[in-house]
Amino acid sequence: MIVGVPREIKSGEQRVALTPPGARALVEGKHRVLVEQGAGLGSSIRDEEYAREGATLASVEDVWKQAELILKVKEPLAEEYPRMRAGQILFTYLHLAPAPELARALQAAEVVAIAYETVERPGGALPLLAPMSEVAGRLSVQEGAFFLTKARGGRGILLAGVPGVPPGNIVVLGAGTVGINAARIALGLGADVSILDINLDRLRAVDDLFHGRVITLVSNSFNISQVLRRADLLVGAVLVTGALAPVLVTKEMVTSMKEGSVIVDVAVDQGGTVETIHPTTLHDPTYLVSGVVHYGVANMPALVPRTSTFALTNATLPYVLELAGKGLAAAVRDNAPLAKGVNIWRGRVVHPAVAEALGEPATPLPTLLERS
């Protein structure tokens, strides 16, 4: 198969959908890899590094014109719509439910659009979303530590403390992928860490994982208001799949926090779990409410594009190899998680949630496979 990797053109996006090790794996599988010149630069990957693994550097026109499978990170933008070709497979983050215009463009172009975010294992795990939650979770404490310094508007706290001065207190709301990764870094810094969740099994897992060194608390408004009074750093890490994040930290609770404490609400991409949070950008990440520093960056992985690129492609590559190796129909027949990723198939909307958001009936994938 001919696999194409265009440079990402969305503002601020520095990731790339394939690394040199991925290019080598595809070339070893006898596939042809076309990488747009400069596609890896944002992630500090030079063109020569792809060429050394057997990839061909090409213009953006050639990548889109020749590739049967296009690998991207973000959804196609309007200027990319005319480049898509009927029958081409597009494998990328899409988030189509709130983007009807993009969905229509994909339908009109007759591509097969497979969304990273809906690739789903039995039991509901989302393997192509998890790596970015790992990055954001680990980064949340690193960013929180930075903004706790006085020069950045914080309380002037060293989270690790020093002999004779206690460490900082970190509260993590939600013990999923983001929360556990935040707790790991917080513990590594030597901070005093509490984590809250409504799911007792998650709290049991945290207790086992960190050998009781993290305080686990069931999440309710009583416990949240208690822990927030002591917190130097709050990490919002709650998710109710597919829904807006529940607002668990009210304005009054924020007012009760210490002056100069920091809130990093990672869940801001789902609306946020703190009443006073709103989305901010990497260039202007924080603002103050009641003396509390609020950090609401919705694309935190973009701060560390190199790590994020490798983390993302480690997770996507096995699916890419299967698609390229078996061809589309056999790959989605054999791989149920990948089949869940199919959102649009040559004009038909396949994913039920996307179909509902677009007000269209969903066409089941098996029906389309029978016809193909």
Ligand X SMILES: NC(=O)c1ccc[n+]([C@@H]2O[C@H](COP(=O)([O-])OP(=O)(O)OC[C@H]3O[C@@H](n4cnc5c(N)ncnc54)[C@H](O)[C@@H]3O)[C@@H](O)[C@H]2O)c1
Q: Which residues are catalytic?
A: 95, 269
The correct pick among 92, 194, 219, 261 for binding ligand X (CB under 6 A) is 219
Binders of ligand X among residues 93 to 152 (CB under 6 A) are: 132-133, 136
SS3 209: helix
Q: How many CB atoms are located within 10 Å of the residue 84 CB?
A: 18
The correct pick among 160, 165, 200, 240 for binding ligand X (CB under 6 A) is 240
SS3 92: strand
Q: Is 14 in the site for ligand X (CB under 6 A)?
A: no
Provide the strand spans (E) within 188-267.
192-197, 215-218, 233-236, 262-265
The correct pick among 45, 269, 276, 277 for binding ligand X (CB under 6 A) is 269
Helix (H) or strand (E) holding 188: helix 177-189
Amino acid identity at 235: V
Q: How far apart are CA 120 and CA 129, in angstroms?
A: 10
Compare residues 202 and 340 and give the one whose CB is closer to ligand X.
202
- Distances from the Cα of 338 to the Cα of 71, 347, 367, angstroms: 14, 19, 16
**Residues pairing with 162 in the sheet:** 165
Q: How far apart are CA 39 and CA 9, in angstroms?
A: 10
Least spacing, CB of residue 260 vs ligand X, in Å: 22
Region from 69-77, 144-152, 167-175, 185-193 binding ligand X, contact rule CB under 6 A: 167-175
SS3 314: helix
Q: How many CB atoms are located within 10 Å of the residue 46 CB?
A: 12
Amino acid identity at 20: P
Least spacing, CB of residue 329 vs ligand X, in Å: 31
Binders of ligand X among residues 243 to 262 (CB under 6 A) are: 245-246, 248
The correct pick among 196, 293, 331, 342 for binding ligand X (CB under 6 A) is 196
The correct pick among 270, 276, 308, 313 for binding ligand X (CB under 6 A) is 270
Least spacing, CB of residue 271 vs ligand X, in Å: 8
Q: Is 175 in the site for ligand X (CB under 6 A)?
A: yes
The residue count for binding ligand X (CB under 6 A) is 33
Q: Is 174 in the site for ligand X (CB under 6 A)?
A: yes
Q: What spatial distance separates the first Cα and last Cα of the chain, rounded to whole Å?
A: 18
**347 burial class (0-12, 13-18, 19+ CB within 10 angstroms)?**
middle
Least spacing, CB of residue 272 vs ligand X, in Å: 9
Least spacing, CB of residue 130 vs ligand X, in Å: 6
The correct pick among 31, 72, 202, 340 for binding ligand X (CB under 6 A) is 202
- Which residues of this protein are in contact with ligand X, per CB under 6 A? 132-133, 136, 173-179, 196-199, 202, 219, 237-240, 245-246, 248, 266-270, 297-301
